[in-house]
């Protein structure tokens, strides 16, 4: 019998898109926010997507790539401050956390969906 009835865990390895910023909403703890790009590569013409660089070298066809951008939020005080101080645009980093789906109202008063990784 497992004690884990559900799990929300994300692991990402990618490059930072811009220097982190720190925001503080009134009455709440500060949060460090940055974007992270991950890349997925595959060869066109293959019926099955390979795993890793070795499969890209061993098959024929053109290489295609898709970049996905992730919004990363860091709330934990020590980690939040270290992230803000040392992480820079272009850094290659590993992020572990959970995925969070939320809503917000933009400056035009339109409700929007937001997906965030809580590191």
C-alpha span between 102 and 85 (Å, rounded)? 27
Q: Can you give the pLDDT at residue 51?
A: 55
Structural domains for the chain? 10-45+60-118 (2.40.50.140)
Q: Token match 């005080």: residue?
A: 77
Task: Count Cβ atoms below 10 Å from residue 86 Cβ, excluding itself.
Answer: 10
Give residue-wise pLDDT tens across range 87-98.
999 999 999 999
pLDDT-flagged residues of the chain (< 70): 1-2, 45-60
Q: Can you give the pLDDT at residue 56?
A: 53
Asked whether the CA dihedral 85, 90, 91, 95 is positive or negative, the reply is positive
Task: Give the H/E segment covering residue 86.
Answer: helix 77-86
Q: Can you give the pLDDT at residue 103?
A: 92
pTM for the predicted model, two decimal places: 0.76
Q: Can you give the pLDDT at residue 113?
A: 94
């Amino acid at each position: 019998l497992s004690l884990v009835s559900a799990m929300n865990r994300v692991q990402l390895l990618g490059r930072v898109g811009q220097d982190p910023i720190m925001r503080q909403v009134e009455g709440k703890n500060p949060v460090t926010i940055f974007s992270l790009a991950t890349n997925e590569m595959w060869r066109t013409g293959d019926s099955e997507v390979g795993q890793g660089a070795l499969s890209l070298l061993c098959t024929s066809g053109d290489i295609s790539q898709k970049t996905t951008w992730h919004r990363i939020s860091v709330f934990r005080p020590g980690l939040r401050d270290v992230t803000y101080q040392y992480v820079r645009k272009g850094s290659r980093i590993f992020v572990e956390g959970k995925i969070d789906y939320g809503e917000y109202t933009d400056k035009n008063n339109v409700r929007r969906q937001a997906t965030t990784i809580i590191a």
